[in-house]
Chains A and B, each alone.
Chain A
Amino acid sequence: MIKPSSQKTFFVYLCLVIVLIVFMTPIYIIVSSSIKPSPIMFQKPPAFVFSPTWDHYVALFSERPFLKFITNSLIVALGSTAFSLTFGSLAAYALSRIRHKRMNDVAFWILSMRMFPPIAVVVPYYIIFKAAGLLDTPIALIIIYSTANIPLTVWLMKGFFDEVPRSLEEAAALDGHGLLGIFWRVTLPLAAPGLAVSAVFCFIFSWNEFIFALMLTGSQAQTATVAVMSFWSSDAVQWGRIMAGSFVILIPGVIFVLTCQRWLVRGLTLGAIK
């Protein structure tokens, strides 16, 4: 006889606690360090009880135009996400619906874009954007991030589109709707969870990206990730500032994921397509 044993429950919770500790420790360090006065930052053993200070946050926004960098990050991340979702899902729809024997090759070709080691193409991109006058602009980053985000979106969305029954589109066609209307009002809403997943991946990738942002932007289009690292100079590493910046950077990502999560759940509970 199987009882809902308290032993089992205990182990489930134990595992959860271990996982949480592993994931939350860095967050704790970020948060606590960002409000620790500098003198006790590296005290051993670490100080768990101290009177918090907002100095690092104040400095973050006063010593640097950090708000501008955050805005840059937002423009780049949202821009690339929007661009990738638009074109990625259109491409995915075509891949999912057009029956042709070479369609798989096209799909793999798109995926292969993603397999490039990014560092290998930094210099060519630099030269191209310099020639095009796009250095230090958000557009440059949007383009580059989209080359990585579109393949991902295409593959994710193709899976979701494959799941949408053809008969719904056929019904819509017989209801008098054209291809675009069917895509927009029937297929895409039913693949909304896929859009949410894609959006999360695209946004997080673009938001966190560092190397391209470092190489291709200067004072104008610098993103928050790069800006934070500017507190790391050869003279001194201002850990308090870096941690405060890291925490600020975390927030938009969390908000974005939570927003998308609502869609995810909504999509999953749409229920039986019978």
Chain B
Amino acid sequence: MPQITLKDVAKRYGDVEAVHGVNLEIEQGEFVVLLGPSGCGKTTTLRMVAGLEDVSDGELKIGDIVVNDVAPKDRGVAMVFQNYALYPHMTVRQNMEFALRPLKLSSEQRDRRVNETSAILEISDLMHRKPAQLSGGQRQRVAMGRAMVRTPSVFLFDEPLSNLDAKLRTQMRKEISRLHKRLKSTVLYVTHDQIEAMTLADKIVIMRDGYVEQIGSPEEIYATPKSVFVATFVGNPSMNVFKGLVRKGRILADGFELPIPSHLSDTVGEEQEIVIGFRPSDIIPYQSDGSNFHKARIEFIEFLGGQTQLNLRLGSHGCVAEVPAAQGLVSGSDFFFNINSDALHFFDVTSGRSLH
């Protein structure tokens, strides 16, 4: 039985529908990440699960209980807020004890839990400090500690790392991953950072404009995006997309053409317009001209250490390629390449859905 079930869950603010009929099942112990651009309804969805927003439509279940009308305090969920929301008038210890108070534990039990949790998070030295006396990273840990002491069955995170600098973010990301493996709790995690999503998630839910675009493991999302949106949103640098026209067994695009892959020959008709996508890393460079190769002009080159990012002009479009560093490439010169044909993605022009 799934731990959390969203069935056609929608949220309306007045006349505006911010989240449209979301369907999602989260299994016990699963780490699910809601990923999407700003304003797509991630926070709203999370807050509905927390009980901080009413569910306008649909059914929200935690375990086998419908919780649409259950108060947040009775849902058995804990949340880590983007701004941490630590109680500024309480010390770190008091912050954590405050979360335990409703459980009515004996004082030994309470102390033991607080001490255990603070030890795991390595904040034992900070217990007597007020939140104002902590650094951003320390506040982050305390916020997680406060959520953890109650040993809830479900953790909710709303962009918990977005206020940290890049290095600390990486470190805390690993920490969260480690904690999840250790506590085996169910996590629903909101972010717009795809690296966080890719590294942490068992399952990613891609959202856009209040709709769920795709649900899948990080590998599935990356390898078989179901829409142009997912294809271009996930992956950095993002996927190159071109419009193509099907004609006489080939696909004609601006600046290059390809044979129609066999698995697609039944789905597409003559003179149909489709969208072709390929990742920058699926461009295979060749040193010299040749009949089977595509040709582009190098506009500028960015060295990224191990990899080199080429910004190409292919026909009248920009296109990005990622190639091994030492290539002796010069901007302004021609670049000959092939595209890994297994890695091509095809989408419908109007709906943007995958044609596979």
Contact = CB atoms under 8 A, between A and B. Distances in A.
A211 to B, nearest CB: 40
A21 interface: no
Interface stretch (A47-55, A62-70, A183-191, A214-222): A183-191
Interface stretch (B31-39, B81-89, B108-116, B240-248): B81-89
B139 A274 contact: yes
Contacts of A167: 81, 83, 85
Interface string B101-142: 111000000000000000000000000001111000001000
Interface in A163-186: 165, 167-168, 170-178, 181, 185-186
A151 B72 CA distance: 33
B200 interface: no
A273 interface: yes
A174 B73 contact: yes
- In terms of DSSP, what is the predominant structure of the interface of chain A? helix
Interface in A218-238: none
Nearest to A169: B85
Interface residues of B, number: 29
Contact of B73 (A177, A186, A189): A177
A12 interface: no
B73 A272 contact: no
B146 interface: yes
Given A174-B77, A177-B73, A274 B102 contact: no
B71 interface: yes
A174 B83 contact: no
A190 B85 contact: no
Interface in A243-270: 270
A270 B89 contact: yes
A176 B85 contact: no
A168 B85 contact: yes
A174 B72 contact: yes
A190 B88 contact: yes
B99 interface: yes
A186 B89 CA distance: 8
A131 to B, nearest CB: 46
Interface string B246-265: 00000000000000000000
B52 interface: yes
Given A177-B102, A190-B88, A190-B89, 7 more contacts: A167-B83, A174-B51, A181-B102, A270-B89, A271-B132, A272-B132, A274-B131
User: Top 3 nearest A-B pairs by Cβ distance?
Assistant: A271-B132, A176-B102, A171-B85
Interface of A: 165, 167-168, 170-178, 181, 185-186, 189-190, 270-274
